[in-house]
Amino acid sequence: MAHEVNLHSLQESERETILQVLYRDREIQNVEEERIRKLKTHLQHLRWRGRKNVSQEYKEKSCARCQRALGFLLNRGAVCQGCSHRVCAECRVFLRSARAWKCTVCFEDRNVKIKTGEWFFEERAKKFPAGGKHETAGAKLLQSYQKLSKISVVPPTPPPLSESQCSGSPSRLQELGQFKGFNKSVENLFLSVTTHMKKLSKSQNDMSSDKQQPATGPRQSAGQTERRSQSDTAINVATRKVSTPDLLKPLAQESPKRTTSPVLKQEDRLSSPAPTPLFSGGWRHGSLISINSTCTEMGNFDNTHVTGEIEFAIRYCFRAHSLEICIQACKNLAYGEEKKKKCNPYVKTYLLPDRSSQGKRKTGVQKNTVEPTFQETLKYQVEPAQLGTRQLQVSVWHLGTLARRAFLGEVIVPLATWDFEDSATQSFRWYPLRAKEKCEDSVPPSNGELAVRAKLVLPTEPRKPPEAQGGTGDQPSQNGQLCLVVLGAKNLPVRPDGTLNSFVKGCLTLPDQQRLRLKSPVLKKQACPQWKHSFVFKGVTPSQLRQSSLELTVWDQATFGVSDRLLGGARLGSKDEPAAGADACPQSKLQWQKVLSSPNLWTDLTLTLH
């Protein structure tokens, strides 16, 4: 919108009333954001699955969606109008109104556009191409509130907004970023700078790359062999566009780190308004999606009753440090779609507790059978010492139309008690399939524990009268500090060699959606890292904190330019998003309240990472 909302004309009580509405709205937005994230993840997953490998030649005739080979005369496939890929007859969805059809991915793309409201944002962008695509009035108003609270500290007549900003905010880049006519060239500048930084940081094994990962990753790897349609990429582009202001943050934070100080300066950021809250949550929309495996891990699948057995053998080659799971067959499986008596089973394995996509192995999909024969070997590179800490999870899934999955049963084999040297254990065996355990469904699995010490530091001297406050950059109303010492973590999902190059990110989200981010140094080659690193969030008041949320995430630093792996995270704070409610267990909630209610005292917290 071309104008700032002027709140000065309102009475204090009116402002308060409106603010309550804004907070309520933001809660709804948060839930909506979460829902949209899930939908997009699901779509992304569909795309990746259907993606042709770079190694796979395009002329090799196969369905772009289910990868099934296409014939020369029969079942030749046809080209989808949406994405120009050739797909087989089963991967087409006919639209209700017309004779036209779309391939499963294009159809899902359409669905997601409806469900996320993306269709509206696209239509709206035709009329307002300059504005932020997902920007909401509520977010803008909250910004105005923030400015207002800053200005009203200055006594007699408040200076015009623009002036106060220029003098108050040293961060020129950020100012440009939120300038109304935020034009293409500036945007490009940011992008190129960020890309440049990315290159730099790659060489240092740094972690700023994860911000761009979701947008660029899949498309880069898709390579030149694949033609992509507009509709295929539209949502990616949108996500990326909107997150552009967010790219500033790694920039702003990276530079001081390059010098020496591990504790980053936060004052600058406080004086600049928050970016649009919708979609600006860098890490949540970024690596979490790309790393965490698939929609099935988010509970997005159909449950059937579990029957049948699976036959497999487990071998470990001590010389090659290679664990082999030979999946032979299943029998008497339940139908994935009971009504249609359809079942397209496949087998998936993890070495728990690692549920990342790197730890996932899958067999091919067998079509239309409840007695599939796989005869496939899934391999893991694992150190012998690591084996004892892992559990092999073998699960059977049905792949339905539109990539809807149904869980058909699983077997969990604790490897600690497995005798790999006894040849008798290496033969094939039938294992009865079991349903997922209840607790696992409701409570996300733990990915280790993080020990933290926290203290809220408040000034001890009596408050100065408000008249004396103007002018200086040090605002007494905001000079509380949240001090955290990240002590260490244990039981993390380690790499196959039993180590990690881990670091911790802290993100404090203030009530106005402003995010303060800090990061610990990387500790190399340790399974139970002890960072003993302190995070200091400056300029926060207790009342702000009560409505803030603090997210601590533990990451494994990437090695070969891939994105860093999220090991787990925990969230603290009273203003939990309802959707993420599972994150905050009552115990840590209590501990967090203790931190807030007993200023200037250290509180120890043990957080379970999810």
Partner 1 sequence: MASATDSRYGQKESSDQNFDYMFKILIIGNSSVGKTSFLFRYADDSFTPAFVSTVGIDFKVKTIYRNDKRIKLQIWDTAGQERYRTITTAYYRGAMGFILMYDITNEESFNAVQDWSTQIKTYSWDNAQVLLVGNKCDMEDERVVSSERGRQLADHLGFEFFEASAKDNINVKQTFERLVDVICEKMSESLDTADPAVTGAKQGPQLTDQQAPPHQDCAC
Residue 36, CA distances (Å) to 42, 115, 229, 246 in order:
10, 8, 22, 19
The alpha carbon dihedral of 444, 447, 453, 454 has a sign of: negative
User: Per CB under 8 A, does 94 bind partner 1?
Assistant: no
Which position among 56, 90, 119, 532 is part of the footprint of partner 1 (CB under 8 A)?
A: 119
Give the residue with the Cβ less far from partner 1, 26 or 398.
26
User: Per CB under 8 A, does 263 bind partner 1?
Assistant: no
How many residues at the interface with partner 1, by CB under 8 A?
47
Q: Which stretch binds partner 1 (CB under 8 A): 106-114, 176-184, 315-323, 446-454?
A: 106-114
Q: Report d(CA 594, CA 603) in Å as an integer.
A: 7
User: Per CB under 8 A, does 12 bind partner 1?
Assistant: no
Shortest Å distance, C-beta 231 to partner 1: 7
* Residues contacting 600, CB < 8 A, separation 6+: 455, 456, 457, 458, 460
User: Per CB under 8 A, does 14 bind partner 1?
Assistant: yes
Give the residue with the Cβ less far from partner 1, 129 or 462.
129
Which position among 65, 140, 495, 517 is part of the footprint of partner 1 (CB under 8 A)?
A: 140
Residue 246, CA distances (Å) to 263, 277, 280, 379, 573 in order:
20, 10, 6, 39, 23
User: Per CB under 8 A, does 98 bind partner 1?
Assistant: yes
Give the residue with the Cβ less far from partner 1, 127 or 464.
127
Q: Are 293 and 360 in contact (CB under 8 A)?
A: yes
Give the residue with the Cβ less far from partner 1, 83 or 554.
83
User: Per CB under 8 A, does 442 bind partner 1?
Assistant: no
Site for partner 1 in 559-588 (CB under 8 A): 578-579
| DSSP-assigned states of every residue in 407-448 | EEEEEEEESTT--TT-GGGGS-EEEE-BPPPHHHHHSPPP--
The two tokens of residue 163 are 């002036």
Helix (H, G, I), strand (E, B), or coil: what is residue 168? helix
User: Per CB under 8 A, does 21 bind partner 1?
Assistant: yes
User: Per CB under 8 A, does 97 bind partner 1?
Assistant: yes
User: Per CB under 8 A, does 123 bind partner 1?
Assistant: yes
- Terminal Cα distance for the chain, rounded: 39
User: Per CB under 8 A, does 6 bind partner 1?
Assistant: yes
Which position among 28, 458, 582, 590 is part of the footprint of partner 1 (CB under 8 A)?
A: 28
User: Per CB under 8 A, does 5 bind partner 1?
Assistant: yes
Our CA angle for 451, 453, 458, nearest 5°, is 160
| DSSP-assigned states of every residue in 187-239 | HHHHHHHHHHHHHHHHHTT-SGGGGTHHHHHHHHHH-TT----HHHHHHHHHH
Helix (H, G, I), strand (E, B), or coil: what is residue 35? helix
Q: Which stretch binds partner 1 (CB under 8 A): 129-137, 320-328, 432-440, 531-539?
A: 129-137
- Please choose, from the candidates 152, 227, 207, 194, the residue with its C-alpha nearest in 3D space to the C-alpha of residue 504: 207
Q: Which secondary-structure segment (H or E) carries 138? A: helix 137-151
Shortest Å distance, C-beta 17 to partner 1: 5
User: Per CB under 8 A, does 120 bind partner 1?
Assistant: yes
User: Per CB under 8 A, does 32 bind partner 1?
Assistant: yes
Per DSSP (E only), the strands in 365-404 are 373-381, 391-399
Q: Which stretch binds partner 1 (CB under 8 A): 30-38, 367-375, 539-547, 550-558?
A: 30-38
Shortest Å distance, C-beta 366 to partner 1: 32
Q: Report d(CA 48, CA 189) in Å as an integer.
A: 30
Give the residue with the Cβ less far from partner 1, 94 or 120.
120
Give the residue with the Cβ less far from partner 1, 144 or 271.
144
Footprint of partner 1 (CB under 8 A): 1, 3, 5-6, 9-10, 14, 17-18, 20-21, 24-25, 27-28, 31-32, 34-35, 81-82, 95, 97-98, 110, 113-117, 119-120, 122-124, 126-128, 131, 136-137, 140-141, 230-231, 578-579
